[in-house]
Amino acid sequence: MTKAQSLAGSYLWTALGDGMRQVLGFAVSLVLARLLTPSDYGLVGMVLVFVSVLSSVQESGPSQAVIQFGKDPQAFPICSTAGSALGLAMAIALFLAAPAVAIFYAVPALEPIVRVMSCVLLFNGVRSASQGALLREFQFRRVTVIETVAGFSGSLVAVAMAAHGYGAWSLVANLVLASALQAILIARAVRPQWTPLMATPLSRAILAWVLPSLGSVLLWQAYVNADSFAIGKRLGSEQLGYYAIAFRLAMLVNDRLGAVVSRVSFSSLAGMREDPARATGHWLLLLERMALVTYPFLAFLYLCREDAIIVLLGAKWLPAAEPLRILAIGAAFRAVSPVTANFLATQGHTRWNFAFSLLNAAVLPAGFWIGAGWGGVSGVAWAWVICYPALLLVILAKASSLPGAGWARLAKAHVRPVCLLLPVAAMTGAVRLLIPGDPLLRLTASLAAAAAGGLIFLVLNPGLREEMRRVFASARGAA
C-alpha cells in the first residue's frame, strides 16, 4: 500500500466512522428532541461546559504526545501514566465541585448530574494514550469500529430511557455509557502501560512540547463553551436548550468534518515536517475540500431553517430558528481553525495557536455575556459571527507566511466552494418562492433543488470530478 493510499484510507475510514456516528447521533437527536424538553437539553449543556473543557486536556495532551514522540518506546508508558492520573484527578475534582456548580447556576438538580458525568473524565484518561498509539499507526478503521459500537450502544440506552420518562438522565446515560465502552474497547486494542519512572529527560521533553499546545486547547475549549456558560447563567436551561439545538444544527457538517480532518491531519501533517512546502499544499487542499462540503450545506440550512426545525424536531423548537439563521452565517469559520492549528503545531509554531486562543479567550466570553443580555440567544450567536472571523486572522496570517502559502493561495482555495454555493443557494431559493405552504413538501423540494444545483456545478467542473475519482480510487486501494 502506498503512502497516498494509506492517507486516503485514513481519511476515508475516519470520515465513514464519523459519518456513521453523525447519522446515528442525528437520528437519535431527532427522536430525543421529540421526547425531551428544551430544559432537559439545557441541564446537560450546563454540565458539558465543564466536562468539555477538561476532556480537551486529555485529547490534546497524552494522546497527541504519543503521536509526536511515539518512536521512543518509553513515550507510551509515560503518556499512559500521565493520562490515567490526570483523568482520575479531574474526575475527583469535578465530583467534589458538583455542589458548587449547582449553586452557581441556582439549579439544585445539577448536583447529581455533575457527579455522574465526572466518570467521563476518568474513562477518557484511561484511553487517551492508547487511542493516540492507534492513530499514530493509522489504525483509523479500528478506531472507527470502536467509536461506532460505543456510540450506538449509548444511543439505544438514551432513547429507551427517554421513552420511559427519565428526562435529562437519558442524555447523561448516553454520554457516560458511550465513554465507558470506548475506553474498554480502546484499552483492549492497545493495553495501557504504566510506569513509576516519570522524572526522565523524555518526560521533560514531552512536557515542554505539550504545555504550549495544551494551553491553546484549554483556552480554546474555554471560549467555545463560554456561549453555553453565558446563556445558562443569564437566561436559564430552557434558552440554553434552544441554543444547543441551533448550534448543533449549524455545526452539524463543518464541526464533524473538521473533527475528521483534524484527527487525521495531525498525523499526516506531522509526517510532512521535513517537507514544509508539501505540508502547506496539504493544508490548503484540506481547507478547499472542507469548504466544498460546508458552504452549500450552510446555504441550504440558512434558507430552510424553519421548515427543517418543524419537520425534523417539531414546532416546539421553533424559537431555535433565529439563532440558527445567524449561526449558519459564521459556522464555516469554525471548520477552518482546527486544521490550521494542526498545521502550525506540526510545523513548530504552537505559540501562535496559543496567542490565537488567548485572544479568543479574552474577547469572546465578554462578547457572549454582553450578547446574552442584549439580544438573548440571538445576541450570543451574533457575537460568534462578529468576533470570531476577525480573530481567526491571527493564525491565518501566520499560516499564510509559511513556505508555499500566501494570501493568494488561501483565497484560491475558496474559489470553487463559493462557486458551488451560488447555484445551490439560487435553486433552493427559487423553489421556496414557488412552493409556499406545507413545510415537508417545501423542504423536500428544496433539498432536491439544492442537489440539482450541486450536480450542475459538478458537470461543469471536470477537474473536480477527476479529483474525486482519484480520491475514491486511492481510498479503495487502501481499503
What span, in angstroms and rounded, lies between the C-alpha atoms of 21 and 32?
16
Q: What is the mean pLDDT of residues 281-308?
A: 90
Is the pLDDT higher at 352 or at 201? Answer: 352
Q: How confident is the model at residue 20 (pLDDT cuts 50, 70, 90)?
A: low
pLDDT band at 299 (very low <50, low <70, confident <90, very high): very high
- Greater confidence (16 vs 176) lies with 176
- Distance between CA 46 and CA 172 in Å, rounded? 12
* Block residue for cell numbers 430525543: 32
Cα gap 422→425, rounded to integer Å: 5
**Exposed, middle or buried, 202 (CB in 10 Å: 0-12/13-18/19+)?**
middle
Return the higher-pLDDT residue of 375 and 347: 375
Q: Looking at residue 36, what DSSP letter applies?
A: S
Instruction: Check pLDDT > 90 for residue 370.
Output: yes
For residue 479, pLDDT over 60 is answered with no
Task: Give residue 300's Cα distance to chain centre.
Answer: 20
Helix or strand or coil: residue 236?
coil
pLDDT tens readout for residues 137-149: 777 778 878 888 8
Closest CA to 444 of 456, 435, 457: 435
Chain CA centroid to CA 457, Å: 28
State mean pLDDT over 305-333. Answer: 92
What percent of the chain is modeled with pLDDT above 90?
Answer: 40
Alpha-carbon distance of 297 to 258, in angstroms, equals 14
Q: Is the CB of residue 114 less than 8 Å from the CB of residue 50?
A: yes
452 close to 296: Cβ distance less than 8 angstroms: no
- Model confidence band, residue 22 (pLDDT cutoffs 50, 70, 90): low
262 vs 30 pLDDT, higher one:
30
Rounded mean pLDDT, 382-399: 91
Question: For 315, which DSSP code?
Answer: G
User: What is the reported pLDDT for 26?
Assistant: 73
Contact 301, 250 (CB under 8 A): yes
b/e per residue 37-70 (b: at least 16 CB within 10 A): ebbbbbbbbbbbbbbbbbbbbbbbbbbbbbbbbb
Q: Report how far Cα 194 is from the mean position of its chain's Cα atoms.
A: 30
Checking if the pLDDT of 256 tops 80, the result is no
Look at residue 54 in the predicted model and tell me its pLDDT. Answer: 84
- pLDDT, residue 49, reads 87
- State pLDDT tens for residues 99-129: 999 999 999 999 999 999 999 999 988 888 8
Which amino acid is present at 85?
A
Of 167-181, 210-224, 326-340, 349-363, least confident by mean pLDDT is: 210-224
Does residue 199 carry a pLDDT above 60? yes
What is the model's pLDDT at position 453? 93
pLDDT number for residue 17? 55
Measured between alpha carbons, how far is 289 from 281 in angstroms, rounded to an integer? Answer: 12
Among residues 320, 332, 338, 309, the alpha carbon closest in space to that of 384 is found at 332
For position 3, what pLDDT does the model report?
A: 52
Per-residue exposure over 205-238, b if at least 16 CB sit within 10 Å of its own CB, e if not: ebeebbebbbbbbbbbbbbbbbbbbbbbbbbbbb
At residue 425, the pLDDT reads: 94
Contact 308, 443 (CB under 8 A): yes
* Burial bucket for residue 394 (CB in 10 Å: 0-12, 13-18, 19+): middle
pLDDT of residue 80: 83
pLDDT at 144: 77
**pLDDT score of 166:** 92
pTM of the model: 0.80
Q: Give the orientation angle of helix 201-224 with respect to helix 62-69, to 10 degrees.
A: 130
Residue bearing the bigger pLDDT, 325 or 465: 325
Evaluate if residue 478 carries a pLDDT over 90: no
CA distance 126 to 139: 18
* Highest averaged pLDDT of the listed ranges 15-29, 92-106, 267-281, 462-476: 92-106
Q: Which residue is associated with the grid cell 490526570? A: 86
Query: Is the pLDDT at 89 greater than 80, yes or no?
Result: yes
Q: How far is Cα 124 from Cα 110, in angstroms, rounded to an integer?
A: 22
- The whole-number pLDDT of residue 197 equals 66
**Residue 18 pLDDT class (50, 70, 90 cuts):** low
Which amino acid makes up residue 238? E
What is the arithmetic mean of pLDDT over 220-237?
A: 89
Mean pLDDT of the chain: 84
Q: 37 vs 193, which has greater pLDDT?
A: 37
* Cβ within 8 Å of residue 395, ≥6 positions away: 337, 340, 341, 344, 352, 353, 356
Domain ranges of the chain: 1-224, 228-479
Number of neighbours of residue 313 by Cβ within 10 angstroms: 18
**DSSP letters spanning 308-340:** HHHHHT-GGGGGGHHHHHHHHHHHHHHHHHHHH
Can you read off the three cell numbers belonging to residue 428?
433552493
**Nine-digit cell string for 370:** 454582553
pLDDT value at residue 19: 59
Count Cβ atoms below 10 Å from residue 335 Cβ, excluding itself. 27
So what's the pLDDT on residue 12? 56
pLDDT at 97 over 90: yes
**Cβ 407 vs Cβ 282: under 8 Å:** no
pLDDT of 91 strictly over 90: yes
Burial class (CB in 10 A: 0-12, 13-18, 19+), 471: middle
